[in-house]
Homo-oligomer: A and B are copies of this chain.
Amino acid sequence: MGTERRSRGTHEAALTIRDVAERAEVSVATVSRVLAGNYPVAAKTRQRVMRAVRELNYVVNTHARALAGVRTETVAFVLNDVRGPSFSAAAYGVEREANQRGRLCLICTTEGDQERELAFMQLMREQQASAVILIGGVRDDEQYRERYTEIAQGLHAVGSRLVLCGRPSLGADVPATTVEYDNEGGAYAITTNLLANGHRRILYLGGMLEHTTSVGRLLGYHRALADFGVAPDPTLIEHGEFTRVSGYERTRAWLQQGAGRFTAIFAETDMVAAGALAALEDAGVRVPDDISLVGYDDIELASDLRPRLTTVHVPYEELGRTAVRLAIDLKEGRSREGDQHVVLGTHVVVRQSVARLHH
């Protein structure tokens, strides 16, 4: 006896609940109960156990505990890139909310690679994560949807709940809870602001339409034009990447070829606006005196630019927090999958990049 319980490999023998039980001279069941805390144990016994735990510096093994049916709650989330100012704010919200509610947080960045996203979801199935939060747009095609559906169903089967942020729920086979901010409303409001300042020809530097974000913002732009009785000029609408360079390049091209055709620019993202601003600056065009410029997102940079950028504030952190809350509600049965579709409000932040246009 004594050397009996040694693990097989070259590893050090792990410290187990049995060691604690032995030291405290109680059964493993009692140790477990003391640690769980939801079962009556005599104060004296409890103290003895706690003392042994402390002296041995013991902690439970999550895996064993999970196997026995007590899961450590875990929230996993997937996004493109933590470095983006808006996404990082969403990530922050997710992490904080999860943490505050005693959940662990798993993260995965995909750089737009949907394959990676699916692989991660699969991993989360293996891990029995309690929630998986997907942030950002999807490119949806036949093959993708099939695999997505299968994996999502698998997730559901192990008790993982899925929440989508800024992306549509894909088909009725996978009813998902979604959180979105009001893209249309924000775009409507800021376009209205430009229109009210006399602008009629507004260059629209948009994103790809696979993002619901872009669809929504463009919609708001159109609705505002319609409300002001302005016929939209489709040639003034562009689709491209959500990056600074894209904003720079597209603006430069327009300044060379289409100068004079517009008096304002609506960049679908502050990042794009930053690029546009740089291009305008480089071309000697004054903002807002010659051209007005607005963005979307209200990232920190917006108020660092000169002129400070008029833009639409988006509650990214709140987005992340809400996603976690919804996931937990789902998990705990307070709502059903597919029932909840939250839309968070946005509002215009007026700064200095829009000028009143005098005809």
Contact = CB atoms under 8 A, between A and B. Distances in A.
Nearest to A278: B304
B126 A107 contact: no
B304 A62 contact: no
A14 B72 contact: no
Contact of A82 (B15, B69, B88): B88
A121 B86 CA distance: 28
A53 to B, nearest CB: 12
Contact of A106 (B59, B88, B106, B154): B106
Contacts of A67: 61, 63-64, 67
A352 interface: no
A353 to B, nearest CB: 14
A59 B154 contact: yes
A62 B301 contact: no
Given A91-B82, A122-B59, A157-B12, A107 B108 contact: no
Interface string A70-98: 00100000000111010011011001100
Contacts of A89: 83
Nearest to A110: B99
A253 interface: no
Given A57-B157, A59-B126, 9 more contacts: A8-B69, A59-B122, A61-B128, A62-B126, A63-B67, A95-B107, A95-B108, A104-B106, A306-B306
Given A64-B67, A105-B106, A57 B123 contact: no
A57 B152 CA distance: 11
A347 B8 CA distance: 50
Interface in A142-160: 150, 153-154, 157-159
In this complex, the interface size class of chain A, counting residues with CB under 8 Å from chain B, is 35 or more
A230 interface: no
27 contacts: A7-B69, A8-B69, A11-B159, A12-B157, A59-B122, A59-B125, A61-B67, A62-B63, A63-B63, A63-B64, A82-B82, A82-B88, A82-B91, A82-B95, A83-B89, A83-B92, A95-B107, A95-B108, A95-B109, A99-B108, A99-B116, A104-B127, A105-B107, A106-B106, A107-B107, A301-B304, A306-B306
A334 to B, nearest CB: 16
A81 B153 CA distance: 34
A170 interface: no
A60 interface: yes
Given A57-B154, A88-B88, A128 B304 contact: no
A127 B92 CA distance: 22
Contact of A62 (B64, B109, B128): B128
Contacts of A72: 126-127
B105 A61 contact: no
A66 interface: yes
A280 to B, nearest CB: 13
A63 B159 CA distance: 15
A69 B304 contact: no
A274 interface: yes
A259 interface: no
